Amino acid sequence: MEVRRPMRVVLAGRRQVAGSRACRASDVGALLAVVRAVAALALALAGAVPLAWADALPGPAATRIDLPLADGTALTAHWFPRAGTAPRPAVIALHGCGGLWRNARSVGTVFEARYPEYIERLHAAGFHVLLPDSFTTRGSGPICSQKAADRVIKVETRRADVRAGVQWLAARPDVDAARIVVLGWSHGAMTALSALNARRTDAAAPVAGVIAFYPGCAGLLQWPFALSQPLLMLLGGADDWTPPARCEQLVARTRSAQPTVDITLHVYPGAYHGFDGRNPVRFRTGVPNGVDAAGVHAGGDPQARVAAHAELDRFLARWAHAPGTPAAPINAPLPADTR
């Protein structure tokens, strides 16, 4: 098995501190590379990790990996394990239409600011983090400016990424397969909901919970939809990109069909798309998929951000305790199929 040389990836908002300790930095780096290579080889030989390991990345224990997809291609993902020895819960985090990277010049080197922040938050909650790169893998940059009907990479395309990520995590000895949570923003949130639609025979499993930040729900309303895990949905009341009304309708319909379904819904008044970020609200022209064809508003809302993060922390706390103990109810009864 080939283990390629380390590739430098800088997390936005982090600074690396240079200095010497008991030995030279080059010696430490060489030793870590050997240790990671041996560990990867051992896991692969044991059959515990169904993928080809790729470049080891410096920083907070990050590794770039290749996840095999059913069509024979490989999905690039970034693995940020939480320190510790016992099996831990894990989060698959799905980026929005803007992709993972800060800009076109920083692809492969600098994440967009939200992702390092969430990695740190999720680690603090006790979770490993897996970040699939659905766009770069397929030779694409951001798709926000593309009309939804014209996109080559659709929600349906990315459902395969969720299944591959869940299968990879569930096979790892350092992950508790009963505590895998899927988190998504916008297009990634739509992907998460579609991938976990219990009405579909190819729904991703095993998944303990799903978190959806400001998804678009119009497409989901066109098909039978059900959940077999708890859902936390967080929406902006003033969102003119993915208006909350359709998602509220989806939640109401799901609750009616599944009276015991575990759904927590919060709509933050006055908040726009991307309210959990730090950038100021601005009008983005050239985004054709909102209420106004000329563009949409997007940006952070300090109050909504704090409130949403508190809800996120409470939701994740369900799985942060004893290994193998899922939230209850974990499987809401599915209604009769009326298709």
Q: Which of 45-49, 147-151, 222-226 has the lowest mean pLDDT?
A: 45-49
- Supply the pLDDT for residue 165: 97
Per the prediction, the chain carries an average pLDDT of 82
Q: Which pTM was predicted?
A: 0.80
- Supply the pLDDT for residue 86: 86
* Residue linked to tokens 């050239």: 286
- Supply the pLDDT for residue 51: 26
- Supply the pLDDT for residue 12: 43
- Supply the pLDDT for residue 333: 55
Q: Which of 61-65, 117-121, 301-305 has the lowest mean pLDDT?
A: 61-65
- Supply the pLDDT for residue 83: 87
Q: Which residue has the higher pLDDT, 100 or 15?
A: 100
pLDDT tens digits, 220-264: 999 999 999 999 999 999 999 999 999 999 999 999 999 999 999
Q: Is the predicted pLDDT of residue 191 greater than 50, yes or no?
A: yes
Q: Is the predicted pLDDT of residue 53 greater than 70, yes or no?
A: no
Q: Which of 26-30, 198-202, 228-232, 288-292 has the lowest mean pLDDT?
A: 26-30
Average pLDDT over residues 192-215: 97
- Supply the pLDDT for residue 85: 79
Q: Which of 19-23, 72-76, 103-107, 335-339 has the highest mean pLDDT?
A: 72-76
- Supply the pLDDT for residue 334: 57
Average pLDDT over residues 26-30: 38
Average pLDDT over residues 316-322: 85
Percent of the chain with pLDDT over 70: 77
- Supply the pLDDT for residue 10: 43
* Residue linked to tokens 């993902």: 77
Q: Which residue has the higher pLDDT, 326 or 121?
A: 121
Q: Is the predicted pLDDT of residue 52 greater than 60, yes or no?
A: no
Q: Is the predicted pLDDT of residue 178 greater than 60, yes or no?
A: yes
- Supply the pLDDT for residue 335: 58
3-state secondary structure the chain: CCCCCCCCCECCCCCCCCCCCCCCHHHHHHHHHHHHHHHHHHHHHCCCCCCEEEEEECCCCEEEEEEECCCCCEEEEEEECCCCCCCEEEEEEECCCCCCECCHHHCCCEECCHHHHHHHHHHHCCCEEEEECCCHHHCCCCCCCCCHHHCCCCHHHHHHHHHHHHHHHHCCCCEEEEEEEEEEECHHHHHHHHHCCCCCCCCCCCCCEEEEECCCCCCHHHCCCCCCCCEEEEEECCCCCCCHHHHHHHHHHHHHHCCCCCEEEEEECCCCECCCCCCCCEEEECCCCCCECCEEEECCCHHHHHHHHHHHHHHHHHHCCCCCCCCCCCCCCCCCCCC
Average pLDDT over residues 25-40: 37
- Supply the pLDDT for residue 34: 37
Q: Which residue has the higher pLDDT, 28 or 100?
A: 100
- Supply the pLDDT for residue 84: 84
Q: Is the predicted pLDDT of residue 99 greater than 90, yes or no?
A: yes
